[in-house]
């Protein structure tokens, strides 16, 4: 624990900024609390009615421009300052980190499943190297969950049928608790996992060791096999050439022009939607003839295909 028992450890980037914003808000609140209570006590004593004094009618004050200016402008500036400082820290937390290792996170009642680039799957333990950036691509198989690491001051909702992201920059080795922050049923309170941060050499040795669920192939390689087995290459090319459907080459992260004049970035959510609901967004210049693979490909299959498409630069 931190020396200040009010806070958990500061184990990652941005934790200091989050704590600073919190302390600033608390300090402002305490200042105005004692200020208003002080005035309240002072006025109650100073203007109390004393025995033997004649009754006096309190003058009716209808306006005071200076006071009105003060209690409008100063609180507005304080709220604006809190917003700016908070936004600055939030922007740093959601900014993508170059060269991050990508790990897929699947939340389900009531456990966490972590899938590494080499295909290995680990239940309720996320192991990462200290000092190395990590990108978490997260989805849920059932209901709304919340991925929350108090020691990192990070929380991200996880939605069924969609992908959300979280970037980690661990700065301290150790074991930290991951909680589910959204009520998800009777087992919600037990839906916890361990975040294990180890030195890079220890992580490299762990990666080389045997792992249940790895299957001997990487996630991208499994996605390549699924693309071939599912007949995707009959309509989509890998080399940029035009076929019935758009090419897979360089598709991830690319701006896609749609029928009707709009456009969309080909991120994980777009690619998943294109697989399960191919006619939801029609690419400009291509016929809407792709069949749906909903019910044919599992969420794990789709995640593997997306991992493969990311490699096609």
Give me the DSSP letters along 100-150.
PEEEEEEEETTEEEEE-TTS-EEESEEEEETTS-EEEEEEESSS-EEEEEG
Provide mean pLDDT across the span 232-249: 87
Q: Is residue 15 part of a domain?
A: yes
Q: Is residue 59 part of a domain?
A: no
Is the pLDDT at 9 greater than 80? The verdict is no
| Amino acid 21: pLDDT | 84
| Amino acid 211: pLDDT | 57
Q: Choose the final residue of a domain: 176, 208, 240.
A: 208
Sheet with 145-149: list strands edge to edge. Answer: 125-129, 192-198, 174-180, 145-149, 154-158
Distance between CA atoms of residues 283 and 258, nearest Å: 4
Q: Is residue 57 part of a domain?
A: no
Q: Are residues 69 and 143 in the same domain?
A: no
Structure confidence by residue, pLDDT tens digits, 92-149: 778 888 888 899 999 988 889 898 888 888 888 899 999 889 999 999 988 999 999 9
Provide mean pLDDT across the span 144-169: 90
Q: Are residues 83 and 182 in the same domain?
A: no
Is the pLDDT at 10 greater than 90? The verdict is no
Q: Are residues 28 and 88 in the same domain?
A: yes
Q: For residue 179, what are the β-bridge partners?
A: 148, 192
Q: Are residues 204 and 164 in the same domain?
A: yes
- Whether residue 151 contacts residue 158, with contact meaning beta carbons closer than 8 Å, is answered with no
Q: Are residues 198 and 110 in the same domain?
A: yes
User: Helix axis angle, 15-46 relative to 65-94, nearest 10°?
Assistant: 160
Q: Are residues 293 and 227 in the same domain?
A: yes
| Amino acid 103: pLDDT | 92
Q: For residue 103, what are the β-bridge partners?
A: 136
Q: Is residue 237 part of a domain?
A: yes
Structure confidence by residue, pLDDT tens digits, 167-216: 888 888 999 999 999 998 888 888 899 999 999 999 988 888 765 555 55
Q: Are residues 196 and 234 in the same domain?
A: no
Least confident of 31-45, 48-62, 73-87, 241-255: 48-62
Q: Choose the final residue of a domain: 185, 208, 231.
A: 208
Q: Are residues 115 and 201 in the same domain?
A: yes
Residue with the bigger pLDDT between 5 and 23: it is 23
Q: Are residues 278 and 300 in the same domain?
A: yes
Q: Are residues 127 and 89 in the same domain?
A: no
Q: Is residue 227 part of a domain?
A: yes
For residue 256, give its domain range: 219-310
Q: Is residue 50 part of a domain?
A: no
Structure tokens at 110: 């009531």
Q: Choose the final residue of a domain: 182, 208, 234.
A: 208
Q: Are residues 87 and 12 in the same domain?
A: yes
- Whether residue 179 contacts residue 112, with contact meaning beta carbons closer than 8 Å, is answered with no
Structure confidence by residue, pLDDT tens digits, 37-70: 999 999 888 877 777 777 777 777 778 888 889 8
Q: Is residue 47 part of a domain?
A: no
User: Helix axis angle, 219-229 relative to 299-309, nearest 10°?
Assistant: 100
Averaged pLDDT score across all residues of the chain: 85
| Amino acid 144: pLDDT | 92
Structure confidence by residue, pLDDT tens digits, 261-308: 899 999 988 999 999 888 888 898 888 888 888 878 888 888 889 989
Q: Is residue 1 part of a domain?
A: no
Domain of 237: which CATH number?
A: 1.10.760.10
| Amino acid 216: pLDDT | 54
| Amino acid 1: pLDDT | 45
Distance between CA atoms of residues 216 and 225, nearest Å: 13
Domains: count for the chain: 3
Provide mean pLDDT across the span 17-21: 82
Write down the pTM of the prediction: 0.68
Domain of 204: which CATH number?
A: 2.60.40.420
Q: Are residues 204 and 223 in the same domain?
A: no
């Amino acid at each position: 624990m931190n020396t200040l028992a009010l806070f958990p450890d500061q184990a990652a980037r941005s934790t200091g900024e989050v704590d600073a914003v919190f302390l600033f808000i608390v300090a402002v609140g305490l200042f105005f609390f004692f200020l208003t209570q002080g005035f309240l006590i002072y006025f109650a004593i100073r203007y109390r009615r004393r025995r033997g004094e004649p009754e006096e009618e309190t003058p009716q004050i209808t306006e005071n421009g200076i006071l009105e200016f003060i209690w409008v402008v100063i609180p507005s500036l304080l709220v604006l300052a809190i917003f700016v400082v908070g936004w600055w820290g939030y922007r740093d937390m959601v900014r993508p980190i170059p060269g991050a290792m990508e790990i897929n996170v699947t939340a389900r009642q009531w456990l966490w499943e972590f899938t590494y680039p080499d295909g290995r799957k680990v239940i309720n333990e996320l192991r990462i190297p200290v000092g190395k950036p990590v990108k978490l691509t997260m989805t849920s198989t059932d209901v709304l969950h919340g991925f929350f690491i108090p020691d990192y001051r990070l929380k991200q909702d996880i939605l069924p049928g969609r992908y959300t992201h979280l970037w980690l920059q661990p700065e301290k080795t150790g074991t930290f608790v991951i909680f589910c922050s959204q009520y998800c049923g009777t087992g919600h309170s037990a839906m916890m996992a361990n975040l294990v941060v180890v030195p890079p050499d220890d992580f490299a040795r762990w990666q080389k060791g045997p792992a249940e669920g790895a299957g001997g192939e990487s996630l991208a390689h499994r996605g390549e096999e699924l693309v071939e087995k599912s007949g995707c290459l009959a309509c989509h090319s890998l080399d940029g050439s035009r076929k019935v459907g758009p090419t897979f080459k360089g598709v991830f992260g690319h701006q896609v022009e749609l029928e009707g004049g709009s456009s969309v970035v080909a991120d994980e959510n777009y690619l998943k939607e294109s697989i399960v609901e191919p006619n939801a967004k029609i690419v400009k210049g291509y016929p809407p003839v792709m069949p749906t693979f909903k019910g044919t490909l599992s969420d794990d299959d789709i995640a593997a295909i997306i991992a493969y498409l990311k490699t096609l630069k």
